[in-house]
Each structure stands twice: as C-alpha cells, then as structure tokens.
Amino acid sequence: MIALENIQFHYPHSSVGVHDINLQVETGEFLVVVGASGSGKSTLLQLIAGFLTPLQGRVLLDHQDVTQLSCGERGLGIVLQDYVLFNHMTVLGNVAYPLKVKGVRQVERHRRARKILHDVGLEALEHYYPSQLSGGQQQRVAIARALVFEPRALLLDEPFSALDASRRESMRQELKHIQRQFGVTTLMITHDQEEALMLGDHVAVLEQGELLQHSAPHQLYTQPVSEAVARFIGRTNFIDAQVINSQRIQTADLGILEVTPHAFTVGQTVRAMIRPEAIIANPVSDIVNRVPTTLVERQFLGAQQRHYLLCGTTTLSLESASTPDHITHVALPPTHIHLFNR
Ligand SMILES: Nc1ncnc2c1ncn2[C@@H]1O[C@H](COP(=O)(O)OP(=O)(O)OP(=O)(O)O)[C@@H](O)[C@H]1O
C-alpha cells in the first residue's frame, strides 16, 4: 500500500510543485496519475520514490513512514521513460542486476531472473543485448528488472512514451496482465487520458500540482467533479445556462432543459456538460429536452461517427455508431447533463 498524507512540495525559489496531496493506493491496486505536461506528475512520483523529500507531509509504504528514507531503502521497483538498460549486459544480466546490488549469489540471482523472464515471456531472449531488442521488448526487460526483487510497489513514469502507437497499445495490455499476475501495488504516471482510463483501477487527475479527482475510471468519465476534469478526460459539450429551479435550466440556444435535481441556486449561471455519445439523434417526438438542429459536418472515426450539429449558434458534437442521412432533432437526456459552477 502507498499512502501520501498532506504532501507539500515546491522547488527552491519557486511556488511550483505539488500542494496538499492526499492519495492512497491499496495493496495490489493499479493507480494511474494523469495530468497535462507540467502538472506535477513526475514531481509526485519522485516524492514517492525518494528522489525528492516533501517539505510537509508523509509518504507511507505498507503503513511504514518512509518519508526520510533514501530511494534505495524504500524497496520500490521503478521504471522510467527511457528504461536505462545496461547496454553491455545481456537481458539476464540486466534483470539480475538489482539482486547483485543486494548481494544475492550468482546462482540464486540467475534462477530468480530466469523465473521472472519466463513470467513476462522473455525467456528466449536472455542472452540478447538491449541493442538487439525492439522498444517493446526493452520495456518488458525494464519491467522484469523492476519486479525481480519483489518490490513493495512498482512506480512507472510514462513507460510507453518511446514506443510507436501500435506497440504502445500491446504493451499497455501486457503491463496490465503482468500487474495482475504479480498483484503488485502499482502507481503509473502518464499524460495520456486514454491510457489512464484503460489501465487504472483508479485514476487520479492532477492539475497545477493539485489533485482534482481520484475515482474509478468509469466514475471519472461519467461523474467528473469539475469542469477541469470533464475537459481533460474525454470529449465534452459545454453549454452555458442559468438555473430556473432545482430541475430546470435556461439556455440561450437550446431553450429550457430539464436536469436531475441539483443544489445550485435559482438565477445562478452554470455550465452544463453532456458527452457526445449521450446525445440522441432523431429522437421520438415526446421525449424531454428535444431540440431542433442542423447537421453541419460528419467525421468518420471507424466504429463511431462524429456529427457536428448547430442549434442556434451553439455547436454540439454527437457520436454514434449509426449514420443517419439527416439529423433534424436531438435529445439531451437529463441524467447525462452535469452542471458545474462558472
Ligand atoms: N528541478 C526543478 N526545478 C524547478 N522547477 C521544476 C523542476 N522540475 C520540474 N519543475 C517544474 O515543476 C512543474 C511540474 O513539473 P513535473 O515534471 O512534475 O510535471 P509533469 O506533469 O511530470 O510534466 P511532463 O509530463 O512534461 O513530464 C513544472 O512547472 C516544472 O517546470
């Protein structure tokens, strides 16, 4: 288990860092921390790894306070962006290296390295050198090396950034499989929200050093707690509106919309959000929140089509698997409309 308690850190002569972070990764859980470039992801990872020390707060591993321990004393497996394999060592030598540092005898360290290479499907490559491996294979070696000494937790810093798109996709699946197989508590950082949703049991969204939301992927997508999270995770339509009462809002171009009961005050200006796939094309005539529209553009996305629709001066994007020739009306189901402060 990894626990961060009230972690505060900023770089010298700067206010930039991470602010009052409280976060827990349960034993065996896969947590992905996602955020834009400069949001503080690497800083957070380095605080957990022990490369940086927080100015306030505590880092706990399995309930032990490790805040003042060095990286080597924390017993963590770490995989960085550029893997840093030793080019003069074979795959077996690379994977066995952490055990050598710990003083494990050669016969035993090779036995354990071979076991882990077998577990990650690399046993046939043990005599290869890193330069003879593909990017994906090198990444698997780096993961095997991080796991060989049975770390208390695994930390991964953008591990797929050096891979091309197709290899990244297969490595994601492979990492998820390895993580489940070993049951190792894992924290990974990435700027890629699709990767975060796909891999994480939970996902934490970081912005300007602050934790905006920490939820299961589905909840993050369907119930973002703020406009910032909704903008960062997935595609979204935003519509400005004014609250009429606890179940209705007034919009400029879509008229009055029914919404689920909320606690905003009457007259308050809010921002309504609805995901593109939640909007219904050509709904039956007696449905709530039915609005006339004009189709202005259609984009082919493979399994889905994206339609750009004009309602007055408001453009909505609608995604669906079907491709109607004409879209004359859309419906915005109240349960899919979320309201945020403006
Ligand atoms: N050594 C440093 N000294 C001063 N400021 C730093 C230092 N390292 C990072 N920063 C600043 O801290 C902020 C957070 O950086 P960090 O590297 O943690 O972000 P990130 O989310 O990992 O970004 P990226 O995805 O681009 O790697 C940035 O504004 C960065 O410029």
Q: Which of 88, 35, 68, 31 is nearest to 216 (CA)?
A: 31
- Residue 161: the pLDDT is 83
Instruction: State in Å: Cα 205 to ligand 1 middle.
Output: 16
Distance 81 CA to ligand 1 centre (A): 15
What confidence score (pLDDT) does residue 151 get? 94
Q: Which residue has the tokens 């505060």?
A: 8
Cβ(16) – ligand 1 distance below 6 Å: yes
160's tokens:
């797929």
Ligand 1 midpoint to CA 11 (Å): 9
Kindly report the pTM of this predicted structure: 0.92
Asked if the model's pLDDT at residue 82 lies above 90, the reply is no
Residue 232 CA to residue 230 CA, distance in Å, equals 6
Q: 296 is written with which tokens?
A: 């202005």
CA–centroid distance, 129 to ligand 1, in Å, is 33
**C-beta 41 within 6 A of ligand 1:** yes
Integer angstrom CA distances of residue 179 from 30, 33, 39, 84, 96: 8, 16, 26, 21, 19
83: pLDDT strictly greater than 70: no
The average pLDDT across 17-41 equals 97
ipTM for the assembly? 0.96
Tell me the two tokens of residue 61. 């591993």
Q: Taking residues 184-190, report their average pLDDT.
A: 97
Q: How close is the Cα of 146 to the center of ligand 1, in Å?
A: 24
Mean model confidence pLDDT for the chain: 94
Paired with 60 in beta bridges are 3, 65
List the structure tokens of 216.
């299961």
Angle at 54 between CA 49 and CA 59, to 5 degrees: 55
Lowest mean pLDDT among 41-50, 158-167, 266-275: 158-167
Which is the closest atom of ligand 1 to the Cα of 43? 18
Does 133 score more than 90 pLDDT? yes
Report how far residue 314's alpha carbon sits from residue 252's, in angstroms, rounded to the nearest whole number. 9
Q: For the chain, which residues make up each domain, given as ranges?
A: 2-229, 235-341
> So what's the pLDDT on residue 165?
81
The residue behind tokens 């809002």 is 249
For ligand 1, atom 4, name the residue with the nearest CA. Answer: 11
Mean predicted confidence (pLDDT) in 166-188: 91
pLDDT at 322: 85
pLDDT 10s digits, 310-337: 999 999 999 999 878 899 999 999 999 9
Q: In this structure, which amino acid lies at residue 54?
A: P
Class for the domain spanning 2-229: alpha beta
What count of Cα atoms within 13 Å lies in the side-chain half-sphere of residue 51? 11
Average pLDDT over residues 208-226: 96
pLDDT at 84: 80
pLDDT of residue 260: 97
Query: Is residue 4 pLDDT above 90, yes or no?
Result: yes
The DSSP symbol for 189 reads E
Share of the chain above pLDDT 90, in %: 87
Q: Which two tokens stand for residue 90?
A: 């074979």
Q: Is the CB of 322 under 6 A from ligand 1?
A: no
User: In three state form, how does the secondary structure of 191-218 look?
Assistant: CCHHHHHHHCCEEEEEECCEEEEEECHH
Tell me if 9 sits within 8 A of 54, measured CB to CB. yes
